[in-house]
Amino acid sequence: KSINFDKIVNNLKTELWIDLYNSKNVNKCCDIFYNKLNNSISLATEVKNISAKYKRIKQWMTAGLLCSARNKQKIAMKVKKHPNNTNLLKYYINYKNNFTNILRLTKINFFKTKFKNVAS
């Protein structure tokens, strides 16, 4: 969801508040205000669908790691198609090892910060 705050402000500026001012009951005033505010927010909110290509697999996975994972899969498919290409195989093994190390470090750091936040 994305909220356009300028649109909310414009909606609230153009809203008629006479019924709110004329009401003597505090509960009714609160309900009117709440309904108008929710209506403005719903008018200014857009729901955006994220394709599976950009959706994170795990909570700790960054966009860069997701891109690297897809790249690793592409290289693995090339290695599978060309098993005699030793340079490509060496490149894939090096890429895979670096990616795995970075992935482990990112996961460890994510959970360390998560536990620190919970402990505080």
Confirm if 43 and 11 have CB atoms less than 8 A apart.
Answer: yes
Structure tokens at 97: 């090892």
pLDDT in tens, the chain (120 residues): 788 899 999 999 999 889 888 888 999 999 999 999 999 999 999 888 877 777 777 888 888 998 899 999 999 999 999 999 999 999 999 999 999 999 999 999 999 999 999 887
Helices of type H across 1-120: 5-14, 18-22, 26-44, 63-81, 86-119
What's the pTM value of the predicted model, to 2 decimals?
0.57
Predicted local confidence at residue 59, as pLDDT: 85
Rounded distance between C-alpha atoms, residue 103 and residue 62, angstroms: 10
